[in-house]
Amino acid sequence: GAGMAALSAAGVGLILGRVSFPHSFAILFALSFLAAAISWVGLALNREPDSPSIKPRITHREYFRRLPSLLRSEKNYRRFLLFESLIHIGAMANGFFMVGAVRRFGVDATWVGVYTGSLAATQALMYLVWGVIADRHGHKTVLVCGAIALVVGNVVGFLARSPLVYTVSFVGMGLFLAAEMVSRMNITLEFCEPEDRPTFIGITNTVVAPSVAIAPIIGGVFAGLFGYRGLTVLGAGVLLFAVAGMMYAVTDPRALVGRRGTSKQDVTRGVHEN
């Protein structure tokens, strides 16, 4: 999928460079709609496998009543949610890298294609690399490394003096996004028993989503106050704080041997097979 995105990014740059506005955007939106419509066919043909373990059915009221006590009993998981949310707040500059390139360097459509392609290609490659690292060293390691890569991208975004060097910011963002895609949900599965996975996935998405939504708004406010370079510095600072918390306050669930025998077996089975 990410490989297709990288190829598409090259096509975007080509269309923007050779077709005048607004026809170029009309073509791109039409192609996007067509690709999305075709993708629904594949989704409709998918069949979800049966779950190996299913909890007894309870009412919605009882389900929501149990959530607070579940979170109170999972201190390590709460810390993960806190620092994962802070990492996404620290990613506030992501949506402004391209705008910063246009404002600072006056890049044209060709450079937009280069940046988009660099981002997509990095993600395509790093899905595989992060997967190997996660199998051998844990998903926490992947999340920390991805956030550090974004710190580097922010720093380069602050220091860059040319459009070419600025490409590193998009590579850093690609490393971060791929790490999040590979490991955020997978580490969530390691915090719980198999039958609790849907609940934990729902909690993780619900808790982290506000940070993802509010980060661009915060970024826009600070970009207006301090400029795009100042925004990258602020984002890097928040990211470093969140990385420190993830490293030292959150215990990798794989290290909690014996706490959850079934889920631990599920986790380690994939590691040993590699």
Q: Is residue 61 part of a domain?
A: no
| Contact between 83 and 250 (Cβ < 8 Å) | yes
User: Do 36 and 93 have their domain in common?
Assistant: no
For the segment 90-110, the average pLDDT, to the nearest whole number, is: 89
Least confident residue range of 87-91, 106-110, 213-217: 106-110
| Claim to verify: residue 87 and residue 20 sit in the same structural domain | no
Q: What is the pLDDT of residue 29?
A: 86
- Domain shared by 130 and 233, yes or no: yes
pLDDT band at residue 39, thresholds of 50, 70 and 90?
confident
Tell me, yes or no, whether 131 lies in a domain.
Answer: yes
Q: Give residue 139's pLDDT.
A: 93
The confidence score (pLDDT) of residue 47 equals: 79
pLDDT digits (tens, 9 = 90+) for 16-30: 777 778 888 888 888
Q: At what angle do helices 2-18 and 23-45 cross, to 10 degrees?
A: 160
Per-residue pLDDT at 247: 94
Residue 265 lies in a domain: yes
* CATH assignment of the domain containing 183: 1.20.1250.20
Instruction: Count the domains in the chain.
Output: 2
Residue 220 to residues 140, 172, 185: CA-CA distances in angstroms?
29, 20, 28
Distance CA 152, CA 222 (A): 19
In a domain, 54, yes or no: no
Domain co-membership, 7 together with 104: no
The per-residue pLDDT for 267 is 44
- State the pLDDT at residue 257: 53
* 55 inside domain: no
How high is the pLDDT of residue 51?
Answer: 65
Tell me what pLDDT residue 15 has.
Answer: 80
pLDDT at 268 over 60: no
Average pLDDT, the chain: 85
**pLDDT of the residue at 241:** 96
Q: Who has greater pLDDT, 204 or 23?
A: 204
pLDDT attached to residue 144: 96
With a cut of 60, say whether residue 2 has pLDDT above it: no
* pTM to 2 decimal places: 0.78
90 and 150 belong to one structural domain: yes
Evaluate if residue 258 carries a pLDDT over 60: no
Q: Which domain holds residue 19?
A: 1-46
The pLDDT score that the predictor gives to residue 270 is 40
Would you state the pLDDT for residue 145?
96
Considering the domain architecture, whether residues 139 and 36 belong to the same structural domain is answered as no
pLDDT at 218: 92
pLDDT, tens digit, 9 for 90 and up, residues 134-192 = 999 999 999 999 999 999 999 999 999 999 999 999 999 999 999 999 999 999 989 88
pLDDT tens sequence across 224-250: 999 889 999 999 999 999 999 999 999
The verdict on 162 and 88 lying in the same domain is: yes
Q: Look at 10 and 227; give whichever has higher pLDDT.
A: 227
Whether residues 91 and 160 share a domain: the answer is yes
Mean pLDDT score, 111-132: 90
Same domain, 188 and 112: yes
In the chain, what percentage of residues exceed pLDDT 70?
A: 88
